[in-house]
């Protein structure tokens, strides 16, 4: 008996016994069959994600509601703390992270990203009336708050080293950092420009942006999927939906609703 005959017979036996290797999985097909997309986001990250009187709302929800319509499925929104999101995605607890995830070369090695959904360039906010802090370089030797585990934290840390050192205090949520800034426990808070613009827009008597507010390299937020062949069609479907929404003006309308301004974004994922 030849090796080929043996292998053929073994394969036939597996098929006959119902133990054949299944066809390659396709996440998009599975999602459409289920009729839903299971998502994860931290609902304490205004203006992207917020709980208002127990109701989830924000820029992320408006965007993903429209994406889900394009895919013909219902979104399932889960409130997951940011530190648990990437590990949860890897073990399959949800289909996609729709919290705004900063697209970095390191993360692109482990995850598949959608095209950008917002600007993520790190910026600084201070207490209103604090004239001692004007430009980003003025934070040298100061205490700065930032959300733990974020790309903004790493950029702040690197920027602080160029200034001769700063004291960084990490927080589980940006809301906690803003609260400490408001009562004087911090000199400033670092975060993405959309978050801080929204904060100052709604609380101008308490907070003010640095001028200029931004520092470091331009970066973008995207949504994160598992980096595997089964996710490729799902990622393409989302990219196609974002492109369509950009063309027909839905992205612009949603940005203006939550941020007050429109920023044109790349329609492809930035190169590593």
pLDDT of residue 95: 98
Sorting pLDDT into bands at 50, 70 and 90, what band is 24?
low
* Whether CATH 3.50.50.60 fits 122-214: no
Average pLDDT, the chain: 91
Sorting pLDDT into bands at 50, 70 and 90, what band is 160?
very high
Q: What are phi and psi of 122, to 5 degrees?
A: -70, 140
Sorting pLDDT into bands at 50, 70 and 90, what band is 167?
very high
- State the Cα–Cα distance between residues 263 and 45, nearest whole angstrom: 19
- Mean pLDDT, range 236-262, rounded to an integer: 96
Q: State whether the Cα torsion 83-88-91-95 is positive or negative.
A: negative
What's this model's pTM, rounded to 2 decimal places? 0.78
Preceding peptide of 228 cis, ω within 30°:
no
27-119+219-259: which CATH architecture?
A: 3-Layer(aba) Sandwich (3.40)
The per-residue b/e assignment along 154-179, b for 16 or more CB within 10 angstroms, e otherwise, is bbbeebbeeeeebebeebebbebbbe
Sorting pLDDT into bands at 50, 70 and 90, what band is 18?
very low
Give the Å distances, CA to CA, from 117 to 54, 67, 77: 25, 12, 18
CB of 231 within 8 A of CB of 27?
yes
pLDDT of residue 89: 98
* In the chain, where the domains are located: 27-119+219-259, 122-214
Contacts of residue 178, Cβ cutoff 8 Å, sequence gap at least 6: 189, 199, 207
81 closest CA partner among 99, 107, 103 = 99
CB of 103 within 8 A of CB of 221?
yes
pLDDT of residue 272: 64
pLDDT of residue 103: 95
Sorting pLDDT into bands at 50, 70 and 90, what band is 6?
very low
Q: Given a cut of 90, is residue 216 above it in pLDDT? A: no
Sorting pLDDT into bands at 50, 70 and 90, what band is 170?
very high
pLDDT of residue 155: 93
């Amino acid at each position: 008996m030849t090796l080929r005959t043996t292998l053929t017979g073994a394969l036939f036996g597996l098929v006959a016994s119902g133990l054949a290797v299944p066809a390659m999985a396709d996440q998009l097909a599975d999602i459409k069959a289920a009729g839903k997309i299971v998502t994860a986001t931290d609902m304490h990250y205004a203006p992207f994600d917020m709980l208002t009187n127990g109701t989830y709302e924000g820029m992320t929800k408006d965007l993903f509601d429209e994406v889900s319509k394009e895919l013909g499925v219902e979104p399932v929104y889960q409130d997951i703390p940011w530190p648990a999101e990437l590990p949860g995605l890897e073990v399959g607890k949800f289909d996609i992270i729709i919290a705004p995830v900063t697209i970095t070369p390191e993360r692109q090695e482990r995850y598949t990203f959608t095209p950008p959904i917002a600007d993520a360039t790190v910026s600084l906010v201070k207490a209103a009336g604090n004239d001692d802090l004007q430009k980003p370089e003025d934070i040298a030797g100061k205490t700065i708050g930032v959300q733990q585990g974020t790309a903004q934290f790493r950029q702040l840390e690197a920027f602080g080293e160029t200034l001769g050192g700063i004291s960084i205090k990490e927080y589980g949520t940006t809301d906690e950092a803003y609260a400490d800034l408001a009562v004087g426990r911090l000199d400033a808070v670092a975060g993405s420009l959309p978050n801080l613009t929204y904060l100052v827009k709604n609380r101008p008597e308490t907070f003010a942006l640095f001028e200029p507010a931004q520092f470091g390299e331009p970066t973008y937020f995207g949504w994160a999927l598992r980096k595997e062949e089964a996710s490729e069609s799902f990622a393409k479907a989302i990219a196609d939906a974002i492109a369509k929404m950009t063309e027909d003006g839905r992205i612009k309308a949603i940005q203006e609703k939550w941020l007050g301004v429109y920023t044109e974004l790349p329609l492809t994922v930035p190169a590593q």
